[in-house]
């Protein structure tokens, strides 16, 4: 079990109190869903603590999820919001992480649901909900322990309000040709499609082919990274203690080569914006903690 102080308990409905978020565990205890009184909702797969759905009050989906995504725990989910730990990509030269699979093991491990907490904004009559999930050295499987024989404990929180989601985003769009990303001007980045060359962004980012870049925004995590479509803001992403931003779209050939990427022309309707600590390692002394977050506003 993940040791967490003040672990939230399920909240019962009390007559006379304002409506609160409803949280349910479904699909044979493999998913956790939450619905706000105003109708917004999220759904988290305990396999990988992967957020597979974020809907607005009208029921419209805000996350891209491949139609071929495996939701049965057989492999990492294609789409939604994955959680990457302890390595982004692979690190074959790194002594501790050299044998780990692509993007580590957090996205392919079974997480615990630790509970929920809810609140209501003063004077706004708006509810919010926070779902907490845990993974530790005691709960990973034996094969993973062989690959990562270190003591660790992770707490992952997903918070939902009527207008924001924390922490992350893969953004659905209607037409990738109309999409632009701002907030990355003057940012240094690594272009993984062009031999991992170091480059510098000039102006807005548009997607015209396979894109796989690791940006370090020049103005820091608090500067919003904004995804727009046809000049209309779709999402605004603000990070906390996460210096890097990955921008990814597989385009035609890569999409064709991914068995779980469906439909094959789905690259026209998605862009991946991922916040993280990607370019370098975070060094922690014994007993230290690292905390990072991001908030997506619509």
Using CA atoms, how far apart are residues 135 and 289, in angstroms rounded to an integer? 14
- 231: tokens are 């000049």
Q: Is 194 exposed, middle or buried (0-12, 13-18, 19+ CB in 10 A)?
A: exposed
**Which residue's structure tokens are 């990457």?**
84
CB neighbours (10 Å) of residue 154?
18
- 288's CB contacts (< 8 A; 6+ apart) are none
> Cα-Cα-Cα-Cα dihedral of 46, 47, 50, 52, to 10°?
-80
Using CA atoms, how far apart are residues 83 and 75, in angstroms rounded to an integer? 14
Has 78 been labeled as part of a binding site?
yes
Which whole-number Å values give the CA distances from 151 to 136, 138, 148, in the listed order?
A: 8, 8, 9
Using CA atoms, how far apart are residues 208 and 198, in angstroms rounded to an integer? 19
- 94: tokens are 């790194």
- 171: tokens are 């953004």
Using CA atoms, how far apart are residues 46 and 71, in angstroms rounded to an integer? 10
Alpha helices in 97-216 (DSSP H): 142-147
Using CA atoms, how far apart are residues 128 and 287, in angstroms rounded to an integer? 31
Has 107 been labeled as part of a binding site?
yes
Residues in binding site: 78, 102, 107
Residues in binding site for substrate: 78, 102, 107
């Amino acid at each position: 079990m993940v040791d967490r102080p003040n672990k939230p308990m399920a909240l019962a409905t009390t007559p006379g109190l304002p409506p609160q978020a409803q949280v349910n565990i479904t699909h044979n205890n493999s998913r956790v869903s939450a619905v706000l009184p105003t109708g917004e909702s999220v759904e988290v797969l305990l396999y990988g603590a992967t957020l597979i759905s974020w809907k607005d009050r009208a029921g419209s989906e805000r996350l891209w999820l491949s139609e071929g995504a495996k939701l049965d725990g057989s492999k990492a989910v294609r789409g939604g919001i994955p959680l990457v730990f302890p390595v982004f990509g692979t690190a074959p030269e790194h002594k501790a992480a050299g044998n780990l699979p692509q993007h580590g093991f957090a996205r392919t491990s079974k997480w615990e649901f630790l509970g929920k907490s809810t609140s209501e904004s003063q004077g706004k009559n708006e509810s919010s909900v926070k779902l907490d999930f845990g993974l530790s050295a005691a709960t990973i499987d034996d094969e993973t322990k062989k690959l990562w024989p270190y003591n660790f404990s992770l707490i992952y929180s997903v918070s939902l309000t009527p207008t924001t989601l924390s922490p992350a985003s893969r953004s659905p769009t209607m037409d990738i040709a109309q999409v632009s990303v701002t907030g990355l001007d003057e940012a240094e980045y690594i272009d993984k499609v062009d031999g991992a060359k170091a480059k510098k962004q000039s102006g807005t980012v548009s997607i015209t082919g396979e894109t796989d870049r690791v940006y370090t925004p020049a103005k820091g995590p608090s500067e919003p990274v904004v995804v727009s479509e046809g000049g209309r803001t779709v999402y605004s992403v603000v990070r906390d203690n996460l210096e890097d931003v990955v921008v990814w779209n597989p385009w035609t050939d890569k999409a064709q080569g991914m068995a779980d990427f469906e439909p094959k022309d789905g690259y026209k309707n998605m862009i991946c914006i991922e916040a993280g600590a990607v370019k370098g390692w975070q060094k922690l002394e014994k007993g230290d903690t690292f905390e990072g977050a991001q908030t997506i506003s619509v």
